[in-house]
């Protein structure tokens, strides 16, 4: 059976109520560069696409509470919603998706498809062949280690997208077969029971929380939402420097210990429901 060819991490999608607040947060704290803004009247949403270091994100905020974006927020709350993968050929990708019995929940011919998270071990996937106009990552001399801006928090690479699931080993086997990539043998996880695949510019990590207080947030997320994206973790050059900068912006920073070392975690009230973590950059 064929595997999906992934060119890059397109962006991580966040669903949140307050469009202006989210953009202010990313601009103020990360000096994020917003390079695209648009509305989708059919879905009742306002969207923005922006870069923080080498990490690309897209915001979905409701403009009509009774349409798709608003309904999703009412049902599931503010959160990380999905991950976009860029592929070389959307038609071929759709063929592969159908071969594997994965349901398509939404599509725009030639532009994108969304895949059902229940068929993807909790990962809500957007697949597209598109490279955004004005995306700094397409410019000559783009340096992913530095990013397209001053990057005051010290982001030094792509994101780790962590999902909580009942059986992380089974989940990572599915993703490995779907994408034709082998699980990492050197991965230091954000939880004890962790498996991951490194795609170069991002990492997909599946974790099964234990019963410790340290991983209580993961247990609560799994109970409330089932298999789903739990957190996005950003690598930084220096945790102490990152913490100093975050605190200077009036943010409350918590510290947790994990197999990958100390994690800095921002309160989800400050990040509009999207759990954001930081760890010191690893070279392996």
User: Given this model, what pLDDT does residue 148 score?
Assistant: 63
Sequence-separated (6 or more) residues with CB below 8 Å from residue 264: 239, 242, 243, 246, 253, 254, 255, 277, 278, 279
Domain stop point among 138, 171, 203: 138
pTM of the model: 0.94
197 in Cβ contact with 189 (< 8 Å): no
Has residue 195 been placed in a domain? yes
d(CA 38, CA 47): 5
Domain stop point among 75, 107, 138: 138
pLDDT tier, 214 (very low <50, low <70, confident <90, very high otherwise): confident
176 and 124 both lie in a single domain: no
196 and 248 both lie in a single domain: yes
Q: How many residues does the chain have?
A: 284
User: Given this model, what pLDDT does residue 207 score?
Assistant: 96
Mean pLDDT taken over the chain = 93
pLDDT tier, 188 (very low <50, low <70, confident <90, very high otherwise): confident
The model's pLDDT over 84-130, given as tens digits with 9 standing for 90+, comes to 999 999 999 999 999 999 999 999 999 999 999 999 999 999 999 99
**Pairing status of strand 194-198 against strand 160-164:** unpaired
The boundaries of the domain holding residue 103 are 8-138
Instruction: Characterize 214-224 residue by residue with b for buried, 16 or more Cβ atoms within 10 angstroms of its Cβ, and e for exposed.
Output: ebebbbebbee
Nearest by Cα to 82 from 60, 50, 64: 60
206 in Cβ contact with 190 (< 8 Å): no
Assigned token pair, 164: 């909580």
Give mean pLDDT, residues 50-63.
95
Residue 258: CATH number of its domain: 3.10.180.10
**Pairing status of strand 8-15 against strand 55-62:** parallel
d(CA 233, CA 84): 16
Has residue 270 been placed in a domain? yes
């Amino acid at each position: 059976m064929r595997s999906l060819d992934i060119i890059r991490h397109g962006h991580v999608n966040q669903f949140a109520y307050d469009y202006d607040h989210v953009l202010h947060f990313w601009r103020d704290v990360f000096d994020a560069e917003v390079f695209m803004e648009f509305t989708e009247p059919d879905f009742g949403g306002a969207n923005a696409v922006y870069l923080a270091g080498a990490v690309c994100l897209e915001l979905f905020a409701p403009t009509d509470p009774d349409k798709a974006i608003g309904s999703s927020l009412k049902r599931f709350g503010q959160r990380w919603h999905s991950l976009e993968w860029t592929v070389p050929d959307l038609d071929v990708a759709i063929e592969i998706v159908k071969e594997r019995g994965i349901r398509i929940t939404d599509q725009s011919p030639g532009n994108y498809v969304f895949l059902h998270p229940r068929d993807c071990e909790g990962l809500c996937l957007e697949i597209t062949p598109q490279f955004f106009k004005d995306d700094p990552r397409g410019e000559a001399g783009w340096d992913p280690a530095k990013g397209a801006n001053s990057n005051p928090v010290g982001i030094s690479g792509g994101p780790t997208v962590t999902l909580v699931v009942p059986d992380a080993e089974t989940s990572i086997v599915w993703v490995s077969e779907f994408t034709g990539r082998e699980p990492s043998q050197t991965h230091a996880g954000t939880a004890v029971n962790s498996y991951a695949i490194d795609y170069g510019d991002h990492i997909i990590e599946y974790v099964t929380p234990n019963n410790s207080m340290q991983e209580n947030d993961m247990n609560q997320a799994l109970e409330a939402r089932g298999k789903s994206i739990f957190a996005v973790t950003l690598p930084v050059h220096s945790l102490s420097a990152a913490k100093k900068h975050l605190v200077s912006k009036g943010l409350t920073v918590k510290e947790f210990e994990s197999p990958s070392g100390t994690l800095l975690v921002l309160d989800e009230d400050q990040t509009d429901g999207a759990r954001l973590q930081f760890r010191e950059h690893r070279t392996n």
